[in-house]
Chains A and B, each alone.
Chain A
């Protein structure tokens, strides 16, 4: 027997219950997402001793000392350049390889197409950290430890499958008729790719580029395993090493360094947020 609840209270709850739940969850989402970042920002402006005392949430005086200290670290320019060089190469090269491959998969029927497509997917289910042991062994044998080349090839190899899978989806969704009419106008494959496919799949290309950028900028396990010289470190690696290199921890410097490594990528994301979010929501990006 189910007792039908009635009365003004039950009615009120029925009406407001879902709304309250939504606002509660939404508030939680915002606090949960923003707190770590905002706390790092606030702490980066505090005096190191002030942080230790845990007295107030906001800095007493907003100081830029920590940022000055980070920027004047002797290696900061080098680490920043390393990160930029590796990220640029590991975004452009995978993108080119992926555009070619995705075009092939989306527009041609050929033997082993399905098998080859699956082979592109497999690397995405291999935990990348598990590869650091054999990669270190292999690259030591090849004498490539502490070189840009070793970072390039490992970063590129892990970015190509991701970009390819995103682009196969986008290219596949472009009607073939458009390309066929370009063919009738005498356009060859390169022209069709450049003037028809790429412009039409532009949101996909941008998304693939941003995600390659993200992987390369944030990559840690490969650089940890394949580099051991100070001047070959990237920003995430140096951020990790800060833990050991500072005797008494200067929390403000630590936080300022964190913010400076996170900021460039977040700016890129903010600029292209709409395309990236839409691509993921539309199901075009699959892990």
Chain B
């Protein structure tokens, strides 16, 4: 990315007077489009969060009242705690799975292409379809798990009817969807490591666990950062999977901030408070991403350049 000296010539027919504007003419249309929509949505959302709205979307400026109301609302507090639990467990489980998958995809020799290709398939399945598939894995009558249990002569379980189990199933569905991309990123990191390093370490008598923590992990730090950003971004913005899997139930056991936001704005038509939750999601995700970038990518410029 950094090798960018200007192209010297623009061809003999190039209009000289326009030349300084060429890069802007190339770069700005896309950016204006993006900023026009997404930038407006962010700014509009922040303004909206400072207003009280009624059924007809008439707005009155109320300052921070929505924030005070939302933060004092026990339903929001529960949703926030639940979201943090969901995100933390998803990140830990997701990164563990991604790393395991990346390591076997790196090691496997026969059928390598097939396994890699297969591992990415869930990335192309929509969140809604993921949720529906997981519903039918765990649904009480006719679900895969209960059918297997029945074959083994074991009693059926109400997986999605139990608050704790439903929360676990939601995390599993989330991992199914987000792990493939993260594991291919990590696999890319593993492939950049010089194999001689492993041989040298093995000769020095290092065991596989030492090799992993002392050699592999430090060398793929930037890719670990990228996959962490991906995994926490997906977990924070999980919405469609949980909405279609459990709709936030049972007993609100899976009501995340994003689900409550949708409920507040689109069901209760309280757009002002809904916008507060939008700001909360935005701030959390941005702060987390910046922390990752600071720790993993900035701290190790050399490798991120090499990774390009």
Contact = CB atoms under 8 A, between A and B. Distances in A.
Interface in A146-201: 153-154, 156-158, 160-161, 164, 168-169, 172-173, 176, 179-180, 183-184, 186-189
A283 B278 contact: no
Interface in A102-146: 103-110, 113, 116, 119-120, 123-138, 140
Interface in B128-164: 128-130, 132-134, 136-137, 139, 141-144, 146-148, 150-151, 156
Contact of B37 (A40, A108, A154, A281): A154
Query: Looking at B6, B40, B128, B144, which has the most chain A CB atoms within 10 Å of its CB?
Result: B128
Contacts of A54: 141-143, 146-147, 150, 156
Interface string A49-79: 0011111110000000000000000000000
Contacts of A124: 233
A109 B4 contact: yes
B281 interface: yes
Interface residues of A, number: 109
A223 B173 CA distance: 22
A53 B146 CA distance: 10
A277 interface: yes
A217 B126 contact: yes
A129 B234 CA distance: 11
A266 B184 contact: no
Interface residues of B, number: 115
Contact of B1 (A172, A176, A282): A172
Interface in A90-110: 94, 97-98, 100-101, 103-110
B284 to A, nearest CB: 9
Contact of A283 (B14, B105, B151, B223): B223
Contact of B129 (A34, A55, A262): A262
Contacts of B57: 137, 140
A140 B208 CA distance: 59
B124 interface: yes
Interface in A217-235: 217-218, 220-221, 225
Contacts of B24: 104, 110
A254 B103 CA distance: 36
Contact of A127 (B40, B237, B243): B237
Interface of A: 18, 22, 25-26, 29-30, 32-37, 39-40, 43, 51-57, 94, 97-98, 100-101, 103-110, 113, 116, 119-120, 123-138, 140, 153-154, 156-158, 160-161, 164, 168-169, 172-173, 176, 179-180, 183-184, 186-189, 214, 217-218, 220-221, 225, 236-237, 239-240, 243, 251, 254-255, 258, 261-262, 265-266, 269-270, 273-274, 276-277, 280-284, 286-287
29 contacts: A29-B118, A32-B176, A33-B118, A34-B121, A51-B142, A57-B148, A97-B29, A101-B31, A108-B23, A109-B4, A119-B31, A127-B237, A129-B281, A131-B41, A134-B42, A134-B275, A136-B265, A136-B271, A156-B33, A169-B1, A172-B3, A184-B9, A188-B11, A255-B132, A269-B124, A280-B188, A282-B188, A283-B188, A283-B189
Interface of B: 1, 3-14, 20, 22-31, 33-38, 40-42, 44-45, 48, 57, 100-101, 103-105, 107-108, 113, 115-130, 132-134, 136-137, 139, 141-144, 146-148, 150-151, 156, 176, 180-181, 184-185, 187-189, 191, 208, 223, 226, 229-230, 233, 236-237, 239-240, 243-244, 258, 261-262, 265-266, 271, 274-275, 277-278, 281-282, 285-286, 289, 307-308
Given A126-B282, A236-B240, 6 more contacts: A25-B103, A37-B121, A100-B27, A183-B7, A189-B10, A283-B223
